[in-house]
Amino acid sequence: MKIKFAFFVLVVIISSCIPEYNSLRFQKKLNVKLVDSFATKETVLLFYNLQKLSEHKIIFGHHDATAYGVGWYGKDSSDVKSVVNSYPGLYGWDFSHFTLNNNNPVKSYIKKLVKDAYERGGVNTFCWHYNNPVTDNLFYDTTIAVSKILPGGGFYLKYLRALDSIASFANNLKDSKGRLIPIIFRPFHEFDGSWFWWGKNFCTKEEFVQLWRTTVDYLRYKKGVKNFLYAYSPDRNFRTEEEYLERYPGDEYVDIFGIDNYYDFLPDGEGLEWIKKKLRIVTNVAKKKNKIAAFTETGLEGIVNYKWWTEKLLKVIDDDSVKIAYVMVWRNANENHHYAPYKGHPSSENFVEFVFSPKILLEKHLPNLYEGILDYKKINKVDFIKSLDIIKTIGLYPIKF
């Protein structure tokens, strides 16, 4: 009996000496503060490493990159990879598939692709084109809905069931070692426009802020989601920091500051200088609040300007005053609706030149964002890896510099 008791005491002592992960303590050590005080270690490391990386580099992303492309579907492929022999570093996805009441097999397919991207070292981000919860019509149906899905509204419980679906996906999204896979969640994007039901003309500032806070609180407190970083991304409709933050839900509810901007690249838009000014605003807000800045959505449909990559996009992001962790272009659906080059596309050569820029990173260039703390030594190694890649690739593309 004495031996058993001594053994029990020894186990207790040894167990108490084993370091236990404490997210708050870990965040404090790294001098960061995430929305989620209980965020997983991998999620905290992703935040910290993206923040550090943004001081020097920019990850290139593509929405639905490995799900389908121009002329193919479900082939475990990538249009970007067909051009530059690498997957993009960041993958955009949509929770709309998971909040529909159906058994669409695309759900398990996307889950696999998200896992694959993570296992290769990529970053996953989800937006949410949520159908109007009042009418069940598409998200472009601007029937008033926000006020009706808030607590006390007639569709509040229906909204929570949609969040349950997202939480279920997040809480069951694990890698081969059983660890939760981090996700950047970007709800209610382009909220300063008026094309979605959550847009500026269809809810008050107070209603939008309450919707955002209700969503985040439900996911992190009620459903125990610990692997989300939350991204705030209005469209281009701001010229000052005050306008950018007009519907800001607060520091306790946002990890990443973004901007979606397609229009300013067009002839009727405000042009490259204003795109750069807006990116500076996002950069400065993120810096003040110790968060991350990103160019969360952009692109030129059809890439009809074959030098768009270096003459437009690179010119606004390759600037010392712009510190963004990533830039993401929209999806490749077909020959008319695409935003990344595919094999044989006339802009392919210019895209190769774009990714040769020292700042731009594809998946094959990324350091491990989930295992350890990124320092200058590791960032310098990224430069070395990219230099070797350029040497290997340049023979395949006779580009004139």
- Known catalytic residues? 190, 297
Interatomic CA distance for residues 79 and 15, integer angstroms: 50
Q: Alpha-carbon torsion 383, 385, 391, 395, what sign?
A: negative
Residue 276, classed as helix, strand or coil, is helix
Distance linking the first and last C-alpha atoms of the chain: 81
Contacts 24+ apart (CB under 8 A), 274-281: 274/239, 275/236, 275/316, 276/315, 276/316, 276/319, 276/321, 276/322, 277/239, 278/236, 278/238, 278/239, 278/244, 279/316, 279/317, 279/319, 279/322, 279/324, 280/321, 280/322, 281/238, 281/240, 281/241, 281/244
The letter for the amino acid at 388 is L
Cα 248–chain centre separation: 18
Q: Tell me the two tokens of residue 63.
A: 């929405």
Interatomic CA distance for residues 291 and 54, integer angstroms: 11
The letter for the amino acid at 17 is C
Instruction: List beta partners, residue 229.
Output: 184
Cα 84–chain centre separation: 22
Interatomic CA distance for residues 354 and 360, integer angstroms: 8
